[in-house]
Amino acid sequence: MVKIQFYSLIRLLLKQDKLELPPCENEQVGQLLQRAQQKIATPFLHKLLDDQGDLLLGTIIMVNRRNILHLQKLQTPVHDGDVVAFFPPGAGG
């Protein structure tokens, strides 16, 4: 299974903190996102992606503890057992 974890405002929006999906062969983060949205009643991709499908810059997405911007962005492969986390951090101080 692929474990998806939602934190902070994303968790509040979705009213759930995790989701597990069976792995798909050759799947990438962008495709996993689409599949996750189909499983969840509340639309959330508009919080993560712009109209062109590019990443918005208010939420970090991590695969196995690494920011996907340091991997292959939305093309980062996702495998069985991977943990994908969505975390919009607080910017103020």
Partner 1 sequence: MADRYKRQVALWGKESQQQLETAEVLIAGVGGLGAAVAELLTRAGVGKLTLVDNGLVDWPDLNRQLLYCEADIGRSKLQVAARQLRRINSKVKIDLLEQQINPSFICPPGISIVADCLDNYASRFHLEAALPDETYLVHGGIEGNQGQVITLQKGKSQPLADIFSGIQQPSGEIPVSGPGATTIAGYMASELINTICGKPQLLNRFLIVGLGDLHLDFLKV
Q: Contact region for partner 1 (CB under 8 A) — 28-36, 40-48, 50-58, 74-82?
A: 50-58
Angle at 19 between CA 44 and CA 58, to 5 degrees: 35
For the bound state, the minimum distance from the C-beta of residue 25 to partner 1, rounded and expressed in Å, comes to 27
Residues between 5 and 34 with contacts to partner 1, criterion CB under 8 A: 5, 7-9, 11-12, 17
For Cα atoms 35, 39, 41, give the angle at the middle one, nearest 5 degrees.
130
In the bound state with partner 1, the residue whose beta carbon lies nearer, of 22 and 42, is 42
